[in-house]
Structure formats: C-alpha cells, structure tokens
C-alpha cells in the first residue's frame, strides 16, 4: 500500500520529540559527551572522595596562640626552636620505629629504586661542577680548617663548613644562576605549613623548595583548594608559608650525632616525598613516581657526610616511603680527596635534576581540573591578602575535615580545626584580581 502525502505529514506531526542529548551521551566518554551536548559531563568536575584528605587544614588554635605570644615577646619564635630542643625527640633510637608506624622506613625497600634513579645518583655524584676559588676548602689551608673545627660545636660547623658541603640555592642565583630563581630556602625554620606526620613538624637546618612565584596564576588557582590560607592553613604541598614542594634538606651535627641528623632528615623528607605522591595520585599518575627518588637529604658533621635519596613504593592506595643510601664518606681523609663531593652533588641537583623535576610537578598541576567546586577559607580581612575562591552556588554535600595531632608535649590533645569545606555542586567563580 502506497503511503499518501497526507499520511506522511501526519506521521511527521506525531513523531516523538528527540530525547535530551545528555541522556543519550555517555558521561564516561567526555569527548563524545561534549560532541553530543556541547558541554563537558558534570561528573568530570566532581572531585573524588579520595581528594578530601588533601584539602588544606586549619592549624591548631593552640599552635597559633603560641606563635602570637612568641612574636609579642623576646622569646624565640615558634618556627625557630633552639637547636637542642628541636633535636630532642630524634635522640631516641625508637624514633625510627615511630616513623615506621607512619609508613616511613630508614632503609631500602626490597623492590629497590628504579634503574633510572640509580643512573641519576651516579650522574649527580660524578657530573662536573665549578667550585669556589677562595674558601676554607682551598688546598693550602684545608688541613688547618679541619683542625680548627675538630672539637667545635654545631654552630661553628654550620658557620665554617655547611655552605661548602651544601651550597645555597639562593646565593648561587644571586651570583647569576638564573635557573635557580624559582627556588627558595629556609634556615632553621619550622615547617609549620606542612600537615604533620608524627605530630611534631620538622625544622631542618637548611631546606630548598619552590617559590610561589615559580607557578603560573592558573596553576596556583588549581592548587588553591589544597593550599588554602597559606598563612594559617596546613597543606601536603607546602613546608613553610613561602615554600612549595620541598626536595632537599640538610642537618648538621658534631661529635657522634649523625644518626640523630639522619632521623631528622628522614622525617623531613618523608613529608616532601608524600606531597609529590599525593599530587601525582590526584591526576592518576602515581606510577610516574613509584620507586623514583623524589627528594634528597645530606647529614654532616665536622668530618663526615651522608647523602640519601627518598622514594615511594606505591601499592594501590597504600604508599610507603624508603631511604636509599647514595654515598657516605669522610671529607677530611686522603688530604681532602672527597671534600667537594657533596658540594658537587648538591649543585648537580640544582642544575641537572631540579629543572626536570619542576616540569613534572607543573605537568601534574596542569592536569588538575580548573573548575572543581571547592570553597577555601579566606585569609584574614585585615591582612589584605584574601585568597578565597568565591562561590555563588548552592552549598550542598559539604564535608568537614579535622586532623588530630597525635604526639606528645605541646601537641597533646590538640585537634586541628577544619578550614576547608568540600562542595560538589555548582560552578566555581575565578578569583578576582586586585
């Protein structure tokens, strides 16, 4: 039977309306979804539950009170405890066991580091470098230098020797190494902005990481939920309020205390490695850092040096941190044959390893979603440095975070007040430029 023109017209009139393209599109295929609907699937911008523990956290109120009272008096600031006090907990050999309960081991993993990291260590040790022409390590006065510091205290070793073992990144930048302008350093300063591992924050004699200005505005926007109020919050990605993603620490001792320095460095660099792992896990690239050295430490006294690398071993959501011994030596023996070894190693970290490491960090940050809906506690209005991510959407499904600092002494019984809420609905507005 031939269909008449009237019947065909009637069919067209009664043809059901096309379904909502979003109902037909597969949200698990973002590109296909965008082609069909001209927008990205909303689930692409919903943060995973695993992100929640990474959000910035408010420092404990008692810690803030201590810092205010210290700054208002002549007492040493809370971020610069006296050398004897800051080392006290590490003198106990059981501290190594405490670190192990937190997943940090001062020993190599049975899986070992990757071949790539083994080659890296050799390159950093052997790569050619330049040295200061006129220093206390000059050939004709080296022996006299060693004799003068042989019985001296840590402060004297720091003054005369440390910069010839671990050169200052900022000083090298001042002398013209422009590629180091993205780095910053701390000297005997507490890592008050790092989320604690054992309840006490590290306070390395020297540490190096990246400046805030090393990152683009877009990258800082993406990091904002995890940084929060960098003057008052704690983060996996910060050491001090001005240092992001630290990667090198140094501890100095005298006498027979290098084991103490090693424990301090192990604590410090576990936090550094943890930040790298958590960033790469956020973007599904944790395998990129599995068994790879991502941080370094140097312990030294008036005659010996110990150089270590730190690496994660990742098994699904479980991560453990291990230490790889790179080189241990005496710089005073054989007429100072190895006196420049640590200096050369450190400069090669800055010149050879750091630029590539920074690119990897930036590539991971660039993969963070730009419109995940977070609300971050603003800086105090009185500071004029407000970093709030404005949010005009309906506030639903917020998840509060709290952290217990679980060590003894001044952290006993303290609970960190949450500073960040986690929201799943609504678009986020960009920060206003002021």
Q: Which two tokens stand for residue 278?
A: 């958590």
Lowest mean pLDDT among 81-85, 186-190, 376-380: 376-380
Instruction: Give the model confidence (pLDDT) of 152-176 as tens digits.
Output: 999 999 999 999 999 999 999 999 9
Cα first-last separation, the chain: 74
Q: Which two tokens stand for residue 165?
A: 């073992």
pLDDT of residue 37: 77
Band the pLDDT of 33: cuts 50, 70, 90.
low
Domain ranges across the chain? 20-45, 55-366
d(CA 245, CA 299): 20
d(CA 120, CA 400): 42
Average pLDDT for 116-141: 97
With beta carbons less than 8 A apart as the criterion, state whether 109 and 320 touch: yes
pLDDT of residue 371: 63
Pick 107 or 88 by higher pLDDT: 107
Residue 311 predicted with pLDDT over 60: yes
Residue 217 predicted with pLDDT over 60: yes
d(CA 33, CA 14): 28
Q: How many CB atoms lie within 10 A of CB 7?
A: 10
d(CA 202, CA 220): 25
pLDDT of residue 5: 60
Q: Which two tokens stand for residue 297?
A: 């430490």
Q: How many CB atoms lie within 10 A of CB 137?
A: 20
pLDDT of residue 375: 47
Characterize the bridge pairing of strands 244-252 and 295-300.
parallel
Q: Indicate the pTM of the whole model.
A: 0.73
d(CA 201, CA 41): 41
Residue 393 predicted with pLDDT over 60: no
Q: Closest Cα to residue 346, out of 159, 155, 187, 168?
A: 168
Percent of the chain with pLDDT over 70: 66
Band the pLDDT of 11: cuts 50, 70, 90.
low
d(CA 297, CA 322): 13
Over the chain, what is the mean pLDDT? 79
pLDDT of residue 229: 83
Characterize the bridge pairing of strands 295-300 and 318-330.
unpaired
d(CA 296, CA 272): 9
Matching residue, tokens 């950093």 = 124
Candidate ranges 27-36, 294-303, 379-388, 417-426; pick with highest mean pLDDT: 294-303
d(CA 208, CA 359): 16
* CA dist list (Å): 120 to 12, 114, 294: 70, 10, 11
Helix (H) or strand (E) holding 329: strand 318-330
Three-state DSSP at 129 gives coil
Lowest mean pLDDT among 43-52, 247-256, 291-300: 43-52
Residue 92 predicted with pLDDT over 80: yes
């Amino acid at each position: 039977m031939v269909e008449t023109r009237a019947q065909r017209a009637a069919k067209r009139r009664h043809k059901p309306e096309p379904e909502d393209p979003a109902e037909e599109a597969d949200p698990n295929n973002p590109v296909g979804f965008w082609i069909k609907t001209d927008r990205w699937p909303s689930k692409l911008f919903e943060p995973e539950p695993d992100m929640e523990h990474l959000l910035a956290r408010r420092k404990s109120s008692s810690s803030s009170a201590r810092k205010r009272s210290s700054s208002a008096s002549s007492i040493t600031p809370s971020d610069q405890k006296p050398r004897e006090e800051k080392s006290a907990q590490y003198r106990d050999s059981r501290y190594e066991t405490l670190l192990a309960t937190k997943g940090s081991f001062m020993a190599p993993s049975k899986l070992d580091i990757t071949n790539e990291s083994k080659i890296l260590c050799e390159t950093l040790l052997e790569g050619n470098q330049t040295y200061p022409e006129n220093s206390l390590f000059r050939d004709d006065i080296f022996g006299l230098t060693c004799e003068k510091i042989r019985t001296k205290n840590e402060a004297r070793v720091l003054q005369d020797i440390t910069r010839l073992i671990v050169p200052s990144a900022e000083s090298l930048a001042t002398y013209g190494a422009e590629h180091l302008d993205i780095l910053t350093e701390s000297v005997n300063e507490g890592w008050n902005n790092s989320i604690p591992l054992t309840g006490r924050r590290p306070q390395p004699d020297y540490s190096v990481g990246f400046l805030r200005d090393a990152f683009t505005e877009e990258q800082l926007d993406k990091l904002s939920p995890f940084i929060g109020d960098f003057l008052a919050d704690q983060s996996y990605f910060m050491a001090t309020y001005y240092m992001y993603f630290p990667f090198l620490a140094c501890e100095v001792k005298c006498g027979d205390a290098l084991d103490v320095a090693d424990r301090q460095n192990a604590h410090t660099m576990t936090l550094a490695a943890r930040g790298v792992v958590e960033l790469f896990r956020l973007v599904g690239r944790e395998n990129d850092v599995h068994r790879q050295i991502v941080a370094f430490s140097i312990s030294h006294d008036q005659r010996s040096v110990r150089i270590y690398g730190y690496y994660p071993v990742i098994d699904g959501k479980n991560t453990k941190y291990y230490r790889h011994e790179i080189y241990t030596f005496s710089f005073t023996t054989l007429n100072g044959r190895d006196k420049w070894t640590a200096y050369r190693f450190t400069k090669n970290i800055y010149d050879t390893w750091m630029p590539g490491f920074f690119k990897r960090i930036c590539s991971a940050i660039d993969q963070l979603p730009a419109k995940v809906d977070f609300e971050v506690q603003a800086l105090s209005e009185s500071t004029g440095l407000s970093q709030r991510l404005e949010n005009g959407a309906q506030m639903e499904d917020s998840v509060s975070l709290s952290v217990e600092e679980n060590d003894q002494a001044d952290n006993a019984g303290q609970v960190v007040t949450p500073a960040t809420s986690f929201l799943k609905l609504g678009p986020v507005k960009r920060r206003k430029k002021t």
